[in-house]
Amino acid sequence: MSNQNSKLKILTNGFLNENPVLRLVLGTCPTLATTTMASNGIGMGLAATFVLLCSNIVISALRKIIPDQVRIPCYITVIAGFVSVVQMLVKAYVPSLDSALGVYLPLIVVNCIILGRAEMFASKNNVVDSALDGIGMGIGFTITLTVMGSIREILGSGTWMSGLDGLLPFLPEGFAIRVIPESIDPFTIMTSAPGGFFVFGILMAAATWLTTPKAKKQKAVEAAEGGNA
C-alpha cells in the first residue's frame, strides 16, 4: 500500500503541490504567450505532456550509461527528437494549432519544465516513476494553461474554447462558446501581455494559498491583525 501511495504522490505532485508553472515557476514564457485562448493552452499542454512522458522514460532508461560530463547535451538531444515528432504530427494533423502556437512549439526543446524534470527526476529514478512524474507534470502544466487561457479568453474576447475545432475535427468550423454577450465590450487588455501577467499572478497567489499549511495561514492572519492594531 505504501508503494501505491508513493506512486500516487509522484503522479499527483505536479497537479498543485509542485505545479511546474505556479509553484516551481518554470515555463513562464510559453505559458504567457500561448494562453490567449483556452484551446491553445490545451494544445500546448498536450504537446508538452507527450514530450515530458517520452523523454523522461528514455532518459531514465539510459541514466546509468549517459556520462555525467555530457548529460545535459544528451538530455537536449533526446528531448529534441520527441519535439520533432510532435511538430511533424501537429503540422500534419492540426495545422491550425501549429499556426497558433508558432515558434513556441519547437521551443519546447528548451522548455525549463522538460529539461528540469530530466535533470531533477528522470536521471535519478526508475522508468515507472519517471513516467508517472512526466504524466503528472504534464497534466499540471495543461491544467494551468487551460485555466489561464479560459480566464483570458472569456474576459478578453467574450468567448470560450474558440478554435477548439482545430483540435477536434468533428466540431463545426468556427466553433466557440459565447460567454459574454456581444453587446458588452470585453476587456481586451486580458489578451495582451499585462492581462497575462495579472492572471498569472492571481493564479500563483491562489496556488500558494492552497498549498500553505493551515498553521502558517493562521500565523499570517494573526501577524496581519497585529500589524493593523
96, 171 contact by CB (below 8 A) = no
What SS3 class is residue 177?
strand
User: Is 195 contained in some domain?
Assistant: no
- Whether the Cβ atoms of residue 141 and residue 27 lie closer than 8 Å to each other: yes
- Number of domain units in the chain: 1
pLDDT for the residue 4: 74
122-151 pLDDT, tens digit each: 999 999 999 999 999 999 999 999 999 999
C-alpha grid cell, residue 65? 550509461
Whether residue 87 lies inside any domain: the answer is yes
- The helix or strand, by DSSP H or E, that contains position 178, with its residue range, turns out to be strand 177-178
The pLDDT, as a whole number, for residue 137 is 95
Specify the pLDDT at position 220.
63
What is the residue range of 138's domain? Answer: 2-146
pLDDT at 185: 86
User: With the C-alpha atoms ordered 49, 53, 55, 60, is the resulting torsion angle positive or negative?
Assistant: positive
Q: For 127, what's the count of Cα atoms within 13 Å in the CB-facing half-sphere? A: 6
What is residue 21's predicted lDDT score, i.e. its pLDDT? Answer: 93
- Whether residue 76 is contained in a domain is answered as yes
pLDDT at residue number 154: 94
Spell out, as residue ranges, where the chain has pLDDT lower than 50: 1
